[in-house]
Structures are given as C-alpha cells and as structure tokens.
C-alpha cells in the first residue's frame, strides 16, 4: 500500500511520542517563516515539555487535535471528499438510470456541479449517501484508495494527497517528536480519511475521528462483513467536535488546530479558562499560492472564530505571511 503514495510525502508513522527527543532544533519547522505564529508554537511546546517547569504536561496527556479540511489540506473549490463523491456518481450512473431525471444527480451528470449543489445540505447528503453506502467497509476503502492515488485536483493538477500543507506536516512531526499524540477531528467521513491518514499524515486510523454512517454486522457465506448504511451515525462538526473528542478520546486535548467556525467549539473546549493550553486557527490569506477566504465563504467560513481568536489571544496563522511554502515541493508526475 505504501508504494502507491509518493515517497517524499511519507512521514514516519510513529504513534508513540518520543518524550526524550531534543526540542527546539532550529530547523524543526523549516517551512514556517520566523514570526509570532511559529514563535508561539515553539514556546508552547517548550513550556509543556520542560520537566521541571510550572506548566509541564506528562506525555500521556499531550493530546493534540487537528481539523482536516482547510487545516491539514486544501478544501477549495469543493471539499475533496465531495469531489470523490461526484466522481463516484459518474462511475455509478450506468447502474442508476433514474439519476438522469432525478436531482441532484441529473445536473451533476450534465456537468453542472453548481446547479447540483444548489440544493445545499440536502443535495450533498443525497450524493454522499448514494456513494458512501450499500457496500462493505472493505469495498468502500478499496474505492477510496483507488481514487486518492489517481484523481487529480482540477486547478493544481496534483493528487489530492499532494495538497496537504507542508508546514502542517512539519508541525505534526514536531509535536510527535515532543511526545504529543496527534488526532484528526474532522467533519469529513471517517471511513474516507482513514484510508490515507497514516501514509499522508502519520496518523493511524485509531487516531482519526470523523463523521460516520451506521454500519451493520452481517454474515455472508459464513464470513463476517460490515455493511455501510445510508444513515448518519455521528456528525463531527461544530458542537459535535467536543462531543466526538469525549466519545472517542475520553480526555481533553491540550492543543487544538482548526481553520473555520466549524472548529470553534473544539477550540473552546480545548482552551477553556485553564492555563497551559494552545489553540490555533489557519487563516486562508493567500490567493496566489492557495485560496483567500474567511467571513463570507460557504466552504470553511471563518467569522466568529476570527473574533474569538482575537479576543482570547489564540494564534492565527496568516498563510501568506507565515508559510514559506504551501504544499510539498516534489509531486508525482502527471498524466
């Protein structure tokens, strides 16, 4: 499986933090420009790892949670999982002649994504259920694997997994080297993300929390299978994020990283009144190298969160100013 991903993206997938690792090497975060954002990260990590310091945190409690879309990889012009779903609709269309006259599928199949998504949340749910249910968990994972290793982003021509943020890959590795256990807490589908998070981010499946559909256990020809159902089991967004953290992790993180109002409750839950916590928003300010959007965006809206970050002194990354590079430099050859 490893070999299907470009080697240069791979991180060592160590689930174990090495508490004794030397902190603060000058090149720990090489893609971060010197500035207040980088500085706040380095100071925080130094503080909680200094064994004789007043804010020392034992390694077992160094839980760091990361949103995915817009925080670890791009999310424009559409959430990448939605791009996967749209591609699946095209593949599955021959088996569904009724889609030719049924929205949102009819518009999609005519190539009019905008009209298809005009139905909002409901349309998206229809598309996701039609493409994410009715098969075993293993069949679904195989489908995602085939897509993520071949499909390319319309604007950049990169594999979607090559649109992860290089500075955030470095941050994940830096935290793990300092004894943190890194988790993803995303509104995205958990069965979708777990296919690639270990190889792309070094985060194993059991440290990925996301939205999920119901699955049923069945015996087929004497073999057990889990079958994905067209019914939501858990929606891991907004107030669902602290709930998901409680249900899956069972303890409060000490550091949280997001980019939108959908992450606000997760950051509130992490950085309540207690000292010694760290919260960070990635602010998309770079129209040239990535995208620039915040208060008015329908995808990844950052409005209330920006105000609360200012009021509470959370770190806000100015993507344009703080990041030397956006994506990993070397990418796989295009078609």
The binding site for a second copy (CB under 8 A) comprises 13, 15-16, 60, 63, 137, 181, 190-191, 194, 198, 204-208, 212, 215-217, 219, 222-224, 226, 233-234, 239-240, 242-243, 246-251, 265, 268-269, 272-273
Nearest-approach distance from CB 225 to a second copy, in angstroms: 9
Burial of 248 (0-12, 13-18, 19+ CB in 10 A): middle
DSSP 249-288: T-S--SEEEESSGGGHHHHHHHTSS-SS-EEEEEEEE-TT
Please state, in angstroms and rounded to a whole number, the distance separating the CA atoms of residues 237 and 251: 18
How near is the Cβ of 194 to a second copy at its closest, in Å? 4
- Residue closer to a second copy (CB basis): 208 or 302: 208
Nearer to a second copy, 186 or 265 (CB): 265
Smallest distance from a second copy to CB 63, Å:
8
Residue closer to a second copy (CB basis): 242 or 328? 242
Shortest separation between residue 268's beta carbon and a second copy, angstroms: 5
Nearer to a second copy, 190 or 306 (CB): 190
Q: How far is the CB of 43 from a second copy (least distance, A)?
A: 25
The beta-carbon contacts of 223-229 under 8 Å, at least 24 apart in sequence, are 225/136, 225/137, 225/138, 226/136, 226/137, 227/134, 227/135, 227/136, 227/137, 228/132, 228/133, 228/134, 228/135, 228/136, 228/137, 228/140, 228/191, 229/133
| Comparison of 34 and 219: residue with beta carbon closer to a second copy | 219
Task: Give first-to-last CA distance, the chain, whole Å.
Answer: 21
């Amino acid at each position: 499986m490893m070999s299907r991903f470009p080697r240069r993206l791979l991180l060592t997938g160590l689930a174990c933090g090495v508490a004794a690792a030397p902190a603060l090497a000058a090149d720990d975060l090489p893609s971060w420009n010197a500035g207040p954002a980088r500085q706040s990260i380095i100071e925080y990590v130094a503080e909680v790892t200094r064994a004789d310091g007043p804010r020392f945190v034992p390694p077992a409690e160094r839980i760091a949670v990361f949103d995915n879309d817009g925080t670890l990889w791009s999310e424009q012009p559409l959430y990448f999982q939605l791009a996967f779903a749209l591609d699946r609709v095209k593949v599955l269309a021959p088996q569904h002649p009724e889609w030719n006259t049924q929205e949102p599928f009819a518009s999609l199949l005519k190539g009019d994504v905008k009209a298809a998504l005009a139905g909002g949340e409901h349309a998206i749910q229809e598309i996701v259920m039609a493409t994410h249910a009715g098969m075993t968990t293993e069949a679904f994972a195989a489908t995602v694997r085939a897509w993520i290793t071949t499909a390319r982003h319309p604007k950049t021509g990169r594999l979607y997994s090559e649109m992860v943020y290089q500075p955030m890959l470095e941050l994940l590795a830096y935290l793990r080297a300092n004894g943190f256990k890194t988790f993803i807490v995303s509104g995205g589908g958990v069965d979708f993300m777990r296919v690639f998070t270990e190889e792309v981010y070094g985060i194993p499946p059991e440290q990925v929390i996301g939205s999920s559909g119901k699955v049923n256990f069945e015996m087929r020809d004497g073999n057990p299978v889990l079958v994905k159902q067209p019914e939501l089991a858990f929606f891991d967004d907004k107030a669902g994020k602290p709930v998901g953290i409680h249900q899956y992790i069972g303890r409060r993180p000490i550091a949280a990283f997001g980019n939108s109002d959908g992450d606000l409750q997760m950051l509130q839950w992490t950085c309540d009144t207690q000292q010694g916590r760290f919260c960070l928003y990635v602010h998309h300010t770079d129209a040239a190298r990535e995208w620039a959007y915040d208060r008015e965006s329908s995808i990844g809206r950052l409005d209330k969160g920006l105000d609360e970050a200012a009021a509470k002194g959370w770190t806000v990354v100015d993507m344009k100013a703080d990041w030397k590079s956006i994506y990993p430099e070397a990418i796989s050859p295009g078609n």
